[in-house]
Amino acid sequence: MNAYPQLRKYLRSYPQWHFSPPRVQAVRKLRRIGSDYGGYFVDSSLIPPDPVVYSLGVGEDISFDLSLIEQYGCTVYAFDPTPKVKNWIESQRLPAHFCFQEIGMADFDGETDFYLPPKPDFISHSMMRARQYSQDSIRVPVTKLSTAMGRLRHSRIDILKMDIEGAEYAVVNDLIKDHIEVGQILVEFHHRLSSVGIAKTRAVLSALDDYGLKICYICPRMEVFTLIAQREA
């Protein structure tokens, strides 16, 4: 699947994204893994044997994680500190290769406030104070990506999936600062939040490009991105 025409079409459709078109790494085999709601596009040609997969933000759709486990026999390390997600996970019959970590991801180790969703039946919490979330919050544990990797004895991450309601900006910048090696990043950016905005996404995409991670897929809503490590020539 060639991502270039797709990117040009999306950029023309969103004039507020006025920036130099990002350099795009050509992909060998881009395909969707998981459901229409919870799936992500990956370059399957870059998935090594026994890949290290981190899934940040779990929610109630883990079709991506389970599909990776089924197709590649890998272990998925899933991180989410919210009690609702923990209760949901405990109600499921999950394979042993789904390794749930009841902790959030941030750019520091410790605790922080997670703001509750606006409706009781919603699942997403956020570190961001924004009008899309309740003013009520809970206190949850969080960790740096490098700290989690050290504890799990991983020197690199082959697939890093992030749907963490605005915390992705701090996590990505911290990842770059700590020189963490990542093969692919699948991320939903939350520039739609009232306290974030598009400029923040543009800045972090530029930082990722400088770090050697190139965009190869953008969803039609300009929120979900796949970035892959630049291959050696």
pLDDT value at 67 more than 60: yes
In which band, very low, low, confident or very high, does the pLDDT at 119 lie, cut at 50, 70 and 90?
A: low
Q: Name residue, tokens 């025409």.
A: 5
**Residue 5, C-beta contacts closer than 8 angstroms, at least 6 positions apart:** none
Q: Does the reported pTM lie above 0.75? A: yes
pLDDT value at 23 more than 60: no
E-strand stretches of the chain? 30-33, 40-43, 53-56, 76-79, 98-101, 104-106, 110-115, 137-144, 156-162, 181-188, 213-218, 224-229
Are the C-beta atoms of residues 56 and 161 closer than 8 Å to each other?
yes
| CATH superfamily of domain region 4-106+145-229 | Vaccinia Virus protein VP39 (3.40.50.150)
- Domains of the chain by residue range: 4-106+145-229
Top pLDDT among 129 and 54 is at: 54
Buried b (16+ CB within 10 A) or exposed e, 120-149: eeeebbbbbebebbeeebeebebbbbbbbb
Burial, 12: exposed, middle or buried (Cβ in 10 Å; 0-12, 13-18, 19+)?
A: exposed
**Of 41-55, 139-153, 181-195, minimum mean pLDDT range:** 181-195
**Of 15-29, 103-117, 171-185, minimum mean pLDDT range:** 15-29
Closest by Cα among 147, 114, 149 to 133: 114
